[in-house]
């Protein structure tokens, strides 16, 4: 599915989530740290829900770099090329990357042209948790400050922020289409008052796309005010459309309303390819302890089913299994609750049991 092997940002016209056949071959990249613990749970859940899916493991990440000298080996690219979708765990980034080392997830997003990052946050059925939040952050995923164009002479450091009309319009159309299937409201987040060229272009593209969707309400908000409103009144948001960096930050903030980083799923969407990944990182503080929350990874798998493979029913099944497990009070230590916390594997087993009940009726 790799259309273009060079790390060039390409723009194609369609902005509809792609649909492939009902079957699919999924490349599984566990990555580093808790990626090894949460990804297998997501694979088991997907396998139980959609038995025709085929899973092929491939390696990438910092551990891979230390072992083999490359963060993404050639055979991993080959597996990706033959895959319909990718399930990704998490990857550790060294604080001072060695020369030539580039963050794996950024390389994947740019090389596969995964132009959209969908990051939902919805209230979990956990007693005591704020209810009524159901929002979807639609983040531009290939440009902005994440294009990797930084330089420094030791005294002055410069990072380039690239915003193009084509990428901004493409992500805006996707946001409005998604809003049509939700509560029909889009909040465009930017900082065009201070960054009139870059954010101004993004904002302009968003409002010109909005004209094609008269049934969808559109509002705009400066990113700093957005950070405040997201903390204060998250219920007021439906679809949130934002450039890359703002979306990265705001989605971690929004994840609080879904139960924290361990609960937050995401999907990177391109043309004919998609990569599902929990929002969290490799969590070195808990890696290897068997206590990581697998729900973010599991719900990311459900997003792959829904938005990329067109398998809405199976996606809903996975989400219902998660809902039931949480409603019973089952939880890993990162979640609050009265019952004693369980380990990653036990939560995974409970999800499989609920899935069996749901499919057997």
Calpha distance 291→347 (Å, rounded):
10
Query: Which of 163, 210, 286, 342 contacts ligand NAI by CB under 6 A?
Result: 286
Calpha distance 289→351 (Å, rounded):
20
- Contact between 32 and Mg ion by CB under 5 A: the answer reads no
- Are the C-beta atoms of residues 109 and 144 closer than 8 Å to each other? no
Calpha distance 257→235 (Å, rounded):
10
Structure tokens at 230: 């997201």
- Specify whether 248 is catalytic: yes
- Choose the contact partner of 348 out of ligand NAI, Mg ion, none; CB within 5 to 8 A by kind: none
- Greatest alpha-carbon pair distance for the chain in Å reads 66
SS (H, E, C) 133-199: CEEEEEEECCCEHHHCCEEECCCCEEECCECCHHHHHHHHHHHHHHHHCCCCEEEEEECCCCCCCHH
Residue nearest to ligand NAI (CB): 281
- Choose the contact partner of 342 out of Mg ion, ligand NAI, none; CB within 5 to 8 A by kind: none
- Contact between 314 and ligand NAI by CB under 6 A: the answer reads no
The one catalytic residue among 197, 212, 224, 289: 224
- Specify whether 146 is catalytic: yes
- Are the C-beta atoms of residues 274 and 147 closer than 8 Å to each other? no
Calpha distance 351→41 (Å, rounded):
9
Calpha distance 5→104 (Å, rounded):
15
Going by C-alpha positions, the residue among 197, 173, 194, 189 that lies closest to residue 243 is: 189
- Are the C-beta atoms of residues 90 and 33 closer than 8 Å to each other? yes
Applying the rule CB under 6 A, the residues between 210 and 269 that interact with ligand NAI are 261-262
The count of chain residues that interact with ligand NAI, using the rule CB under 6 A, is: 22
Query: Which of 52, 74, 285, 338 contacts ligand NAI by CB under 6 A?
Result: 285
Q: How far is the CB of 157 from Mg ion (least distance, A)?
A: 21
- Specify whether 191 is catalytic: yes
- Are the C-beta atoms of residues 63 and 34 closer than 8 Å to each other? no
Q: How far is CA 94 from CA 48, 64, 245, 292, 294, in A?
A: 35, 13, 19, 21, 24
- Specify whether 252 is catalytic: yes
- Contact between 280 and ligand NAI by CB under 6 A: the answer reads yes
Query: Which of 168, 244, 293, 300 contacts ligand NAI by CB under 6 A?
Result: 293
The one catalytic residue among 32, 84, 191, 238: 191
> Which residue lies nearer to ligand NAI by CB, 64 or 172?
64
- Choose the contact partner of 248 out of Mg ion, ligand NAI, none; CB within 5 to 8 A by kind: Mg ion
Calpha distance 131→118 (Å, rounded):
21
The contact mask relative to ligand NAI for 85-114 (x = CB under 6 A, - = no) is: -----xxxx-----------x---------
The one catalytic residue among 101, 134, 185, 252: 252
Applying the rule CB under 6 A, the residues between 26 and 65 that interact with ligand NAI are 34, 38
Stretch that binds Mg ion, among 16-24, 141-149, 206-214, 244-252 (CB under 5 A): 244-252
- Contact between 248 and Mg ion by CB under 5 A: the answer reads yes
- Choose the contact partner of 280 out of Mg ion, ligand NAI, none; CB within 5 to 8 A by kind: ligand NAI
Q: Where are the beta strands (DSSP E) in 301-345?
A: none
Site residues, Mg ion (CB under 5 A): 248
Residues known to be catalytic: 146, 191, 224, 248, 252
Q: Which positions lie near ligand NAI, rule CB under 6 A?
A: 34, 38, 90-93, 105, 261-262, 277, 280-286, 292-293, 296, 332, 334
């Amino acid at each position: 599915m790799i259309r273009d092997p060079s790390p060039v940002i390409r723009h194609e016209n369609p902005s509809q989530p792609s649909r492939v056949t009902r079957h699919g071959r999924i490349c599984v990249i566990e990555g580093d740290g808790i990626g090894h613990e949460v990804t297998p749970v997501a694979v088991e859940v997907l396998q139980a829900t959609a038995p025709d899916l085929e899973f092929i493991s491939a390696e990438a990440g910092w551990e891979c770099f230390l072992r083999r000298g490359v963060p993404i080996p050639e055979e991993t690219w080959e597996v990706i090329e033959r895959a319909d979708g990718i399930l990704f765990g998490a990857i550790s980034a060294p604080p001072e990357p060695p020369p030539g080392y580039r963050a794996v997830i950024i390389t994947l997003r740019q090389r596969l042209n995964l132009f959209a990052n969908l990051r939902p946050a919805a209230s979990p059925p956990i007693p005591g948790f704020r209810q009524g939040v159901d929002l979807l952050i639609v983040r531009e995923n290939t440009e902005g400050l994440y294009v990797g164009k930084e330089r420094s002479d030791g005294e002055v450091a410069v990072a380039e922020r690239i915003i193009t009309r084509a990428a901004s319009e493409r992500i805006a159309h996707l946001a409005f289409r998604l809003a049509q299937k939700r509560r029909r409201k889009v909040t465009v987040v930017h900082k065009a008052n201070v960054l009139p060229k870059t954010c101004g272009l993004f904002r302009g593209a968003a409002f010109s796309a909005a004209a094609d969707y008269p049934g969808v309400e559109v509002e705009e908000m400066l990113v700093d005010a957005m950070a405040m409103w997201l903390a204060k009144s998250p219920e007021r948001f439906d679809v949130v459309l934002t450039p890359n960096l703002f979306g990265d930050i705001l989605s971690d903030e929004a994840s609080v309303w879904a139960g924290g980083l361990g609960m937050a799923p995401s999907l990177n969407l391109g043309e004919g390819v998609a990569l599902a990944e929990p929002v969290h990182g490799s969590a070195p503080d808990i890696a290897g302890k068997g206590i990581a929350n697998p729900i973010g990874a599991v719900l990311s798998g459900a997003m792959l089913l829904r938005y990329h493979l067109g398998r809405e029913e199976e996606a809903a099944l996975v989400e219902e299994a998660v809902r039931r497990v949480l409603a019973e009070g089952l939880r890993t230590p990162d979640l609050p609750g009265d019952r004693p916390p369980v380990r990653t594997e036990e939560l995974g087993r409970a999800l499989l049991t609920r899935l069996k009940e749901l499919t057997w009726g």
